[in-house]
Structure 1
Amino acid sequence: MQDSGSTIRIAYREDGSTDPWEILRRADGGPTITINTEGAGENLGRREETDEVRLSDEVGGDVNFNFSAQSFDDFIAAAFCNDWNPTTGELVAGGNADKAFEVLVSYQEIGKHVLMTGMRVSTLALTIEAGSKITGTIGFAGTGYDQDYDASGDTFNTATTTAVMSAATNGGDVQIDGAVLAGTCIATYGLNLDNQYEAQLCIGRATPGRQVKGMLDVTGNISFAFTADGFSLWAKTITRVPVTTSFEMSDGTTTYLLETAKTYLSGDMPIPSGSDPAVAELDAQHRLDVTAGYSMRITRTPA
């Protein structure tokens, strides 16, 4: 027997928990283990290395997913280092909570299970693009693993069954400064959070002793038709006047409102070739608005 991507199962739960595993709905990718080695560096007069030394082990990697309601809320909260407000449904980026998971990769055809522990969400990306599914990527950074984990006594909850969302049927208009730019057409809207976790290596162990979060960097991108309204938005790359952005997506049961409070845009004036339409493709830096109290927040309804 041999596994394929279709038979590999990835599950997760809170780090240190004995609760049933939750199935991670993924499109592709997954966390892995990378062993770092180098030659022993000894010269015996034979012009060849005679040995190799294991230096460290990296635990982590990216999981790509298609967004569906309630399926990825735990990872979004971990990326925000915060908790969903149980009353308002609000989640604010830039918290100090150090949320960690256990992630279990199961090669079901051959009956092998690899447990990864101390898995933090170092990065999170969401991509909303016209004519496409709403997608995302979770970037994990961990502190340990067991390549011979025995899952025989474990139980697994059924995966969520909420529908995958698309930009066309589940997304509303992207709003700039609280209004829809009626004179232009926004084609892409992306958001990225990077907690800049750094692995702290310790004497006496191959895997990191800790994963330490750094400054939160919230970025993104936006592309739009270079109409007169689009030109006015691009002009803010010169004046450095920040804007607010918002986007709402819903499956009819659960709604997510994504908001940024102080967004600076940057990018070149578009000069397309031939008869190609002029489209501005701008990068976004989402800064903390002290008065609003956030750089980015998501409000989930119902909470």
Structure 2
Amino acid sequence: MSSGAKVISAFIRETTPGITPAGAWNLLKRSSWGVKPSQNTKDNDEIGGTRMAQGATLGTVDVGGDVGTKFRWGQHDAFLASCFGADWSGDSLTMGNDRITFSLATYASDIGVASISRGAQVSVWKMEVPNDGDITSTITFSGLDWDSKADDTSFIVGTATDNAGELRYSFKEVTGISLNGVDGGAGFCIDTFNIQFDNNMQTQRCIGTGSPFAGANIPTTFTPKGSITLSWSKAAWEVWSKTLTGATVPFSFTLANDEGQYTFAFPKVQVAGDWPDGGNTDIIQVQLDITAADVSPTVTRAVTVPATAISVAPATSSGNVGTTATLTATLTPAGATDVVQWVSSDPAIVSVVSTGQKTAQVTRHAEGSATITGKVRTFTAISTITVTAP
């Protein structure tokens, strides 16, 4: 008998679709594994000497299925590239026409049984963002070949390298979410949402190969889509009203933790949804289906570089009521990616608003002085602002 905890899952990118290359395998952390062969059969309608059924005829074999995962930094970059049909250009990804495939393998080390799917291409990539708990991703693969064995050896050569981040992204790491130019939490409350990129994959089969497997899996229309559940409000109505006009709106969000961040930007999405209703104790919500149109979404990534110190310039500043000044923070190391948070000790005298990752503008309102604090992580620095009569 085998334990699921002893089944190793790994992948390697192929150079030629359907051929497993030599090289290092990557460990695939997953919560479920549905990649397998599905044997298609046809009933044999022959009539024999008795009324006994004459068995079935074996037909084609489909290879593929879903792999369920938690979303982690670095683990999905190659799969997103396969789904989009393009390699990352630096740290940006958009739709292309390349064919990116993998060999996917498992090995049950306690019983010595191994499997491999070759020519596996991502047909659908889906992300679910809940209102509590971890963000999950489901990868749907379509493969060209399948093999298995039970001789106590694995198709995975060597020890698979774990390139995934240690941290799982959760609902708390969703930042910068925006729909129709309105930030979430300002004009509306987003309860849950999901996105998926669907290649509408079609299978091509070729007679004469002697193989029951697909000859090729061909992506057709690339359809990014999803669903957003909003609390009903005027801002939500503004978006819902586009259902009746077909007008598009922008949608974007960022996932950021201490290892890195991803930003998913949909320049144009069309919306569809029913008019909402609710009982006398319900919070009324509207569910909107979104479908990207005309322009490909873009995914960007950036490694998080944590700050270890901060200073603010100028350290002091004096000016009349009604004047403004710019504060600039310097972070250590120089490439730190944290965004500085700014707070005034007395907003009635001096207010402060962020104008960038490391900059802020202060406005002098009344005579006196106030301390402006810039903060990143646990590190702080101050600037003393003095206000004089005009």
Q: Please give the secondary structure, in 1, of the residue aligned with 2:171.
A: coil
- Do structure 1's residue 263 and structure 2's residue 269 form an aligned pair? yes
Inter-partner Cα distance in structure 2 for 1:155 and 1:234: 53
Higher relative contact order (CA 8 A, sep 6+): 1
Aligned to 1:248: 254
Aligned to 2:146: 145
8 Å Cα contact 1:199-1:209 kept in structure 2: yes
Q: Please give the secondary structure, in 2, of the residue aligned with 1:71.
A: coil
1:1-303 aligned at under 5 Å gives the runs 2-15=1-14, 16-86=20-90, 89-93=91-95, 95-148=96-149, 150-151=153-154, 154-159=157-162, 160-168=164-172, 170-181=173-184, 182-203=186-207, 204-289=210-295, 295-302=296-303
1:126-160 CA distance string (max 9 Å, x none): 11122131111000000101112842781123323
Q: CA deviation at 1:103?
A: 0.4
Taking structure 1 as the reference length, the TM-score comes to 0.91
8 Å Cα contact 2:167-2:259 kept in structure 1: no
Range 218-227 or range 231-240, more displaced: 231-240
Inter-partner Cα distance in structure 2 for 1:153 and 1:231: 53
Inter-partner Cα distance in structure 1 for 2:180 and 2:271: 13
Aligned to 1:292: none
Structure 1 residues 62 and 153, CA gap change in structure 2 (3 angstroms)? closer
Larger radius of gyration: 2
Q: Please give the secondary structure, in 1, of the residue aligned with 2:251.
A: strand
Q: Please give the secondary structure, in 2, of the residue aligned with 1:231.
A: helix
Q: CA deviation at 1:38?
A: 2.6
Q: CA deviation at 1:45?
A: 4.0
Q: Please give the secondary structure, in 2, of the residue aligned with 1:44.
A: coil
Taking structure 2 as the reference length, the TM-score comes to 0.72
Q: Please give the secondary structure, in 1, of the residue aligned with 2:48.
A: coil
1:9-63 CA distance string (max 9 Å, x none): 2110012311121111111133111111233321014222233321111111000
1:98-135 CA distance string (max 9 Å, x none): 00100002122211111110100000001112213111
Inter-partner Cα distance in structure 2 for 1:269 and 1:153: 52
Aligned to 2:360: none
Inter-partner Cα distance in structure 2 for 1:130 and 1:173: 16
1:232-289 CA distance string (max 9 Å, x none): 2211212222100110011223110110011011010111234111001010011123
Inter-partner Cα distance in structure 1 for 2:156 and 2:257: 36
Q: Please give the secondary structure, in 2, of the residue aligned with 1:234.
A: helix
Inter-partner Cα distance in structure 2 for 1:270 and 1:64: 32
Q: Please give the secondary structure, in 2, of the residue aligned with 1:174.
A: strand
1:132-191 CA distance string (max 9 Å, x none): 3111100000010111284278112332342001011x1114202344151310112211
Structure 1 residues 20 and 231, CA gap change in structure 2 (3 angstroms)? same
What is the total number of aligned residue pairs between the two structures?
293
RMSD value, Cα: 1.8
List 4+ stretches of structure 1 deviating above 4 A. Answer: none
Inter-partner Cα distance in structure 2 for 1:201 and 1:153: 28
Inter-partner Cα distance in structure 2 for 1:269 and 1:45: 63
Aligned to 2:332: none
Q: Which has the higher strand share?
A: 2
Structure 1 residues 225 and 78, CA gap change in structure 2 (3 angstroms)? same
Inter-partner Cα distance in structure 1 for 2:8 and 2:54: 39
Q: CA deviation at 1:83?
A: 1.0
Q: Please give the secondary structure, in 2, of the residue aligned with 1:6.
A: helix
Structure 1 gap segments, 5+ residues each: 290-294
1:76-109 CA distance string (max 9 Å, x none): 11111111112xx11013x101001000021222
8 Å Cα contact 1:70-1:162 kept in structure 2: no
Structure 1 residues 153 and 254, CA gap change in structure 2 (3 angstroms)? closer
Structure 2 gap segments, 5+ residues each: 15-19, 305-390
8 Å Cα contact 1:66-1:164 kept in structure 2: yes
Opposite residue 21 of structure 1, the aligned amino acid is W
